[in-house]
Structure 1
Amino acid sequence: MTVEIKVPILPESVAEATVATWHKQVGDSVSIDENLVDIETEKVVLEVPSTVNGTIKEIRAEEGATVGEQDIIAIIEEGASASKPAAAPQIEASATQAPTEEHASDDSDKLSPAVRKMVADNNLDAASIKGTGKNGRILKEDVQNHINASKTAAKSDGPAKEVKTAQAGERTERRVPMTRLRSTIARRLKEAQDTQAMLTTFNDVNLQAVIDIRKQYKELFEKKHGTRLGFMSFFVKAAIEALKRFPAVNASIDGNDIVYHDYYDVGIAASSPRGLVVPVLRDVDQMNFAGVEKSIGEYGQKAKEGKLTMEDLVGGTFTVSNGGVFGSMLSTPIVNPPQSAILGMHRIEERPVAENGEVVIRPMMYLALTYDHRIIDGKESVLFLRTIKECLEDPARLLLEL
C-alpha cells in the first residue's frame, strides 16, 4: 500500500513554500513521525514527518522546488522497510566483486529514478560517479558535482571555479539564490520604505540607575524566577508605559482608517541562522519583568534552533530592536509594517555628561525611534522617547506608572 506525503497546511497569508532539505532519499527506510524533509516558508521552516513506517518509493519535489499547500511531494511504500534488510547481504557481496558489466547493472538498480534520469540525460557512466549517500548511494548532488567537475576540466578558462582551489590573486565569484526568508525580508523592507513616510528621532539615556538595580538584585532575581535580569525587560516595560500615553505609536493604518490597538504585542527583533526574525510577546502589559525575560530567552533559543512557529511571528503592534548586542552605536531602524514605529537600542558606552554643573562619566545609550509620520506627529515621537528616557533613568516610575 502506498501513502502520499503532502505539504502541510500553510499558515495564513503564505501561498507557497520551498523544499529546503530532504533528509531521506528514494529507497531509504522511514519510521512514523520521522522527519522526511524541511519545507521553508517566508517566515519559518516546517518539518514534514512520515505518517507511516515504510520505504521512500518516490520523491516528486526535489530540493529547491516551489510547492503549494497539500501538494504531493513523496510516495511511501507502507511496511516495505521490513524487507529492506534482507537485501543487504546481496549488496555487501556485490561490493566485493570485480567491476563487471553485471556489477554496473546492479549499481544502476540502486539509483533513484531521479538520479537514473539525470545520468541518462547527460550520457554519464554511473560507475564513474562517486556516491556520498548511505552505503555509497549516488545522490543528485553527486551527479551534479560530477558534471560541474567535467565542465571545469574541459574549460580551464571558464568562469566556474571552485573557491577552495582558487590560486592566490584570482578573483572568484559565487552566485547563491536567496532563501525564501531572505527574499521576503528584502521585499517587506522595501515595501516599508515605499509606502510609509518614515522619519527617525533620537535621544540618549543614562543607564546608571538600571545598572545599579541589576547589580543589586540580579542574583536574587535569578534565584527566585529562574531567569537572568537583562536590559531588555526594562526597555520593553518602559516602551509599554510610553505606548499607553501615546496610542498612535501603537496604531496602524488600514486603508483610510487608523486602527488603535488596545493591547500591547511587542515584537523583539532577533538574529537567527536564517536571517532576521521578529517573535512577538503577547499582552506584555500583563507581564512582570520575569515574564518578559523568560519569553525573550525562550524565543532566542528557538530562533537559534530554527524552531520558531508561525504563531510566534505573526501580529505585533510595536517592535524593539537591539543593535547594541552587535556593537552598533547609532542606527535608523526600518518599521516592520503594518506597524507604525520601531524602537532601536544601541551599545552602552561610557561618556562624559554634565550633572549638576559637573562633568561625570556615565553609561549612556543612544535611542532611536523610527515612525510613520502619516499618523505620528513629531511632538508625539519626541515625547514618546522622552517618556522611555525618564522611566529608565528613574526606574521607580515603572512601578508607580508615573
Structure 2
Amino acid sequence: MKQEIKVPAVGESITEATIGSWTKKSGDFVKRNEVLMLLETDKASVEVVAENDGVLTINPGCEAGAVVQIGATVATLDTDAKPAAGAAAPAAETAKAAAPASAPAGAAALPAAAGKDASAHLSPAVNRIVNEKGLDPSAIQGTGKDGRLTKGDVLEAQPGAKPAAPKAAPASAPTGAPALPAAASKQGDKKLVPMTTIRKRISEKLKEAQNTAALLTTFNEVDMGKVMELRSKYKDKFKEKYGVNLGFNGFFVKAVVEALKDFPAVNAWINGTDIEYHNYYNIGIAVSTEKGLMVPNVKDADTLSLAGIELAIRDLAAKGRDGKITPNDLGGGTFSITNGGVFGSLLSTPILNFPQSAILGLHKIQDRPMAINGKVEIRPMMYLALTYDHRIIDGKEAVSFLVKIKELVEDPERLLLEV
C-alpha cells in the first residue's frame, strides 16, 4: 500500500513551507515515528514523521530547499515493502571481498620498506605537490629525517619514476633549523549558503521595524541585590517544590506586567490609523537557537505565579533549542524581553519585535561602586534598556515605565505581593 506524505498545516496564515532537510533518502526503510524531514516556515521549524513502517520515495522536485504548498504530496511510503536483505554488508567483509586474494601474475611488487618510509607522514605541502604532479611517493628517495620526503624531493621528482634504492642516512643532521613548508594561502576561500526561511523572516521583520517605527531607546539601571538575596535564600526549596530553577526572568516578567497595567500604550501598537490596545499580557522571551533568534511568548502572564512563569519560560526555551517551536508559541505577543546579559553584554539598544511598540533589554549583572546614603558601596548593578516606538509612546511614558520596573525589581517583596 502506498501512503502519501503531505505537507501538514502549520498555522492559519501559512500557505507554503520550505523543505529544510530530509533525514532519510529515497529507498530507505523507515520505522513508524521516525523523523523524515524538517519543514521551515517564516515562523518555525516543524518535524514530519512517518506514520507507519515502510520504504520511502521522495517525489521529484521535493528535494531539500524546495518551496512546497501546504497539503502538497512530497513523498510516498510503501507500507508493504520490507527492508532489503543484506543491504548493508559488514565493513570487514566488504573490504575483504574488494581486496584481491593475490597480486596479478607478472605484477612488480613494491619494496615494502621503501613504500612505507616514503609514503607515510607526508606534510601538507608535500602531499599537495605529490597530488598535483601525479607522483608515486614510493618511487622517490626521501632526504629528510628517517627517509621522509621533503618539499625539495618532490619538486625535483618526475612522474613515472621507478622506485629508487634507499640511500644511507647522513652521518649527522645539517646545522640550522630546516625551513618550514609555506602555509597555503586562504585568500578567496569562501562559500555561499542560502538563507533559511526563518533567517529571511527575521531579517524582514527587523528591517520592517527600523523602516516603519520611530525607534528611540531610554536607559536606567537596577540594583539586583535584594533579588539575588531572595533567590539565594529560596532557590533550593523552589527547585525542590516546582522542579525548575528560580531565575531572574520571572521577576522581570512580573514587573513588566505590573508596569504595563500602569502604562497601557506600551502594551499597544499602531494598526493603520488606529491604536490597538490589548487587555491581555503575552510576554515574549527572546531565545537564541541554531536557526536564529526566536521570540516565543508566555501567554496570559498576568495570571501566572512566579513558578508558573519560570516553568513556561523553561518549556519555551527547550522547544526552541529542539526545533519544536510552533506558530502558536510565536504569535500573539504584546511585549518582549531580550537578555543579552547571558552572553556578557553590558549595554545594548534592542530592536522592536514588530508590530509591538516596545522591548526591554536586560544585561550583565556587574559589581559597581554606587553612592548609597552618602557612602560608596559595591552593588550588583544591571543596565536596563527600553526601545520604544515614539509614534505611540511619549518619552515621559517610556521613562516612567522603566522606572516602575526598576522600583519593583529593587523591592521584590512588593512585587510578589502586588502592592
Are the structure 2 counterparts of residues 214 and 24 from structure 1 closer, same or farther at C-alpha, using a change threshold of 3 Å? same
Q: Which residue of structure 2 lines up, in the alignment, with residue 195 of structure 1?
A: 212
Do residues 185 (structure 1) and 202 (structure 2) align?
Answer: yes
Whole-angstrom distance in 2 between the partners of 1:97 and 1:361: 73
Whole-angstrom distance in 2 between the partners of 1:34 and 1:219: 38
Length, aligned pairs only: 336
Q: Which residue of structure 2 lines up, in the alignment, with residue 39 of structure 1?
A: 39
| Deviating more after overlay: 9-18 vs 244-253 | 9-18
Q: Secondary structure at the match of 2:336?
A: strand
Structure 1 residues 295-336: Cα deviation after superposition (integer angstroms, max 9, x where no partner): 111222222221222221111100010000001111110110
Whole-angstrom distance in 1 between the partners of 2:312 and 2:76: 39
Whole-angstrom distance in 2 between the partners of 1:41 and 1:401: 40
Q: 1:14-53 counterparts in 2 under 5 A?
A: 14-53=14-53
How far is the alpha carbon of 1:167 from its aligned partner? 4.8
Are the structure 2 counterparts of residues 292 and 76 from structure 1 closer, same or farther at C-alpha, using a change threshold of 3 Å? same
Do residues 5 (structure 1) and 22 (structure 2) align?
Answer: no
Q: Which residue of structure 2 lines up, in the alignment, with residue 169 of structure 1?
A: 185
Q: Which of 355, 360, 364 is the matching residue for 1:343?
A: 360
Could you list the runs of 5+ residues in structure 2 that have no partner in the other structure? 101-131, 133-181
Structure 1 residues 143-171: Cα deviation after superposition (integer angstroms, max 9, x where no partner): xxxxxxxxxx9xxxxxxxxxxxx954321
Amino acid at match of 1:169: S
Q: Which residue of structure 1 lines up, in the alignment, with residue 237 of structure 2?
A: 220
Task: Tell whether the 8 Å contact from 1:30 to 1:81 is kept in structure 2 after alignment.
Answer: no
Are the structure 2 counterparts of residues 284 and 75 from structure 1 closer, same or farther at C-alpha, using a change threshold of 3 Å? same
Amino acid at match of 1:2: K
Q: 1:1-400 counterparts in 2 under 5 A?
A: 1-60=1-60, 61-81=62-82, 84-85=84-85, 96=97, 167-171=183-187, 172-400=189-417
Whole-angstrom distance in 1 between the partners of 2:54 and 2:348: 54
How far is the alpha carbon of 1:58 from its aligned partner? 4.0
Could you list the runs of 5+ residues in structure 1 that have no partner in the other structure? 100-152, 154-165
Structure 1 residues 123-157: Cα deviation after superposition (integer angstroms, max 9, x where no partner): xxxxxxxxxxxxxxxxxxxxxxxxxxxxxx9xxxx
Structure 1 residues 212-260: Cα deviation after superposition (integer angstroms, max 9, x where no partner): 1111221222222222211111111111110010000011211111111
Whole-angstrom distance in 2 between the partners of 1:229 and 1:336: 26
Whole-angstrom distance in 2 between the partners of 1:168 and 1:96: 39
Whole-angstrom distance in 1 between the partners of 2:408 and 2:77: 60
Are the structure 2 counterparts of residues 245 and 88 from structure 1 closer, same or farther at C-alpha, using a change threshold of 3 Å? closer
Q: Secondary structure at the match of 1:85?
A: coil
Structure 1 residues 279-303: Cα deviation after superposition (integer angstroms, max 9, x where no partner): 1101111111111111111222222
Q: Which residue of structure 2 lines up, in the alignment, with residue 125 of structure 1?
A: none
How far is the alpha carbon of 1:382 from its aligned partner? 0.4
Are the structure 2 counterparts of residues 283 and 80 from structure 1 closer, same or farther at C-alpha, using a change threshold of 3 Å? same
How far is the alpha carbon of 1:57 from its aligned partner? 3.4
Amino acid at match of 1:11: G
Whole-angstrom distance in 1 between the partners of 2:183 and 2:66: 35
Calculate the aligned-residue CA RMSD, in Å: 2.4
Amino acid at match of 1:181: I
Amino acid at match of 2:52: V
Are the structure 2 counterparts of residues 228 and 76 from structure 1 closer, same or farther at C-alpha, using a change threshold of 3 Å? closer
After TM superposition, the score normalised by the length of structure 1 is 0.78
Are the structure 2 counterparts of residues 378 and 87 from structure 1 closer, same or farther at C-alpha, using a change threshold of 3 Å? closer
Task: Tell whether the 8 Å contact from 2:282 to 2:333 is kept in structure 1 after alignment.
Answer: yes
Whole-angstrom distance in 1 between the partners of 2:383 and 2:247: 18
| Deviating more after overlay: 293-302 vs 25-34 | 25-34
Q: Secondary structure at the match of 2:82?
A: helix
Flag the structure with larger Rg. 2
Amino acid at match of 2:378: I
User: Identity of paired residues, percent?
Assistant: 53
Whole-angstrom distance in 2 between the partners of 1:268 and 1:97: 57
How far is the alpha carbon of 1:97 from its aligned partner? 7.6
Larger helix proportion of the pair: 1
How far is the alpha carbon of 1:12 from its aligned partner? 2.4
Amino acid at match of 1:206: D
Are the structure 2 counterparts of residues 58 and 272 from structure 1 closer, same or farther at C-alpha, using a change threshold of 3 Å? closer
Moved over 6 A (4+): 86-89
Amino acid at match of 2:59: I
How far is the alpha carbon of 1:31 from its aligned partner? 2.9
How far is the alpha carbon of 1:87 from its aligned partner? 7.3
Task: Tell whether the 8 Å contact from 2:47 to 2:324 is kept in structure 1 after alignment.
Answer: no
